[in-house]
Amino acid sequence: MSHDYPNIAKELLESLGGRDNIEQAAHCVTRLRLALKNPALVNVAALNGVDLVKGSFFTGGLYQVVIGPGDVEKVYAELRQQTGLAASTIADVKQKSAEKINAMQRLVRVFSDVFMPILPALIIAGLLMGINNLLGAKGMFIEGQTLLDAYPNLDGLWSLINLMANTSFVFLPALVGWSAAKRFGGSEILGIVLGLMLVHPDLLNAWNYGKAVAGLDGQSLPYFDIFGWFKIEKVGYQGQILPILLAAYVMSVIEKWLRARVPNAIQLLVVPITTIVVTGVLALAIIGPVTRHLGILITEGVVTLFDLAPMLGGAIFGLLYAPLVITGMHHMFLAVDLQLISTQGGTFIWPMIVMSNLAQGSAALAVFYMTRNARDKSMASTSAISAYFGITEPAMFGVNLRFKFPFYAALVGSALGSIFLSLNKVQASAIGVGGLPGFISIVPQSISMFVIGMVIAIVVPFVLTCALSMKIVRPGYRVA
């Protein structure tokens, strides 16, 4: 179906308060991100009535217009052509609106800016790791055997996929180092070097750290002995987030300080080597050990909560995750997921995120089934499909929040599905697609329980939304 993108962009401009009200504009997968001079000038009713617009909201100092995958790029291109705005990244627009948000929102924004660029690499790695888990799962397809046992010729393919899957996680600090250095204004290549330094093969593998501390298998902690009076643990930080995140921030501060003071003629000689040496020592001697223990405390606290009160933990997460998506604070959970995978071998957070996404999709699907309004039906169907594959914004903002009761039904379904997963200790070995294909990334022995959770998260919101739509009289709905 073709759309009149020039006219859509024109109507958007008018409803947003005109060209002069837009300072900067960017877009993500589904949304326009706008820095406005005066958000009060926006005509919300007119904006939400524009073709393709599935909803709009103001959060974190930015006005966001939900359009959907694919279309958002074309609308953005047309918007730029009509306004003459320069191309901007999301980081540029966020920086423009930084003075309008509080400290907590700034912290969340940092996590979002750092992790969103590397998310595709993590999802691909998670899917490949999930496929490998299925190949190596005993009894999954053949009684008492793995596929590798039954078909030895698959071993080479398994090893190749395993190599591809592990790369993103083994060198995760390098990915984070690149993205964080870019976010903090430092040199991206130095961020990569710093990240690779923290996983150098000369360092003790982070996954053997516990054994070395406990003295198991004859292992002990190795050290860099500096002049006989100062020792630095010779330990790597594979799969960990906090050490490289803070180290990249420190590196960027040091580099920018040096660039402002070192003469241009010798900057290339002085700045990189000084930055890496100083930051490297700080990272291995102070930042790494401190943040590693902080990360352990965070994960132990989360694990303890879900161990002591799995029903309460699942209910709280299931109810709050979708509202957190509205604020953008959900990006913080990616760091928790990666920390859990690094220290516990799996995460129970990500499977519950899938429950929330599926629940939002099913609520939108119920709206598609119940409504008689052609525009709502079209929007609900496409939004439901999008949510079933992990992109929930069109369903949430374009359908569920607009009618309210589908959103509440989705929260109930998400909470019930999350409670079921939490009680059965379902874990994912990696981060994958947060929707129907999500079972691929689940630990094989938990797949059956995960599928039951998926059924709960799909059926409950659909039934609740249909039931509520027959009790609440709304134009365009079938009323019993």
The residues annotated with a catalytic role in the active site are 28
Tokens of 369: 């089934």
Beta carbons of 352 and 450 less than 8 angstroms apart: no
Residues making up the chain, counted from first to last: 480
Beta carbons of 33 and 116 less than 8 angstroms apart: no
| Beta pairing class for 31-36 and 55-59 | unpaired
Residue 130: count other Cβ atoms within 10 Å of its Cβ. 26
Q: How far is CA 196 from CA 90, 177, 238, 272, in A?
A: 27, 8, 9, 15
| HSE-up (13 A, CA, CB side) for residue 260 | 8
Q: What is the 3-class SS of 309-329, one letter each residue? A: CHHHHHHHHHHHHHHHHHHCH
List of residues 6+ apart from 191 with CB closer than 8 A: 177, 178, 179, 180, 181, 182, 248, 251, 252
Q: Which residues of 446-469 are buried (b: 16+ CB within 10 A; e: fewer)?
A: bbebbeebbebbbbbbbebbbebb
Beta carbons of 82 and 10 less than 8 angstroms apart: yes
Query: Could you give the CA distance from residue 313 to residue 415 in angstroms, rounded to a whole number?
Result: 10
Place of tokens 């997963």: 421
Query: Could you give the CA distance from residue 146 to residue 151 in angstroms, rounded to a whole number?
Result: 9
Residue 371, strand partner residues: 477
Residue 26, strand partner residues: 33
Helix axes 310-327, 349-370, angle to 10 degrees: 60
Beta carbons of 450 and 462 less than 8 angstroms apart: no
Beta carbons of 65 and 12 less than 8 angstroms apart: yes
Q: Which residues of 322-347 are buried (b: 16+ CB within 10 A; e: fewer)?
A: bebbbebbbbbbbbbbbbbbbbeebb
Query: Could you give the CA distance from residue 171 to residue 211 in angstroms, rounded to a whole number?
Result: 22
Query: Could you give the CA distance from residue 434 to residue 419 in angstroms, rounded to a whole number?
Result: 17
Which DSSP letter does residue 85 get?
Answer: P
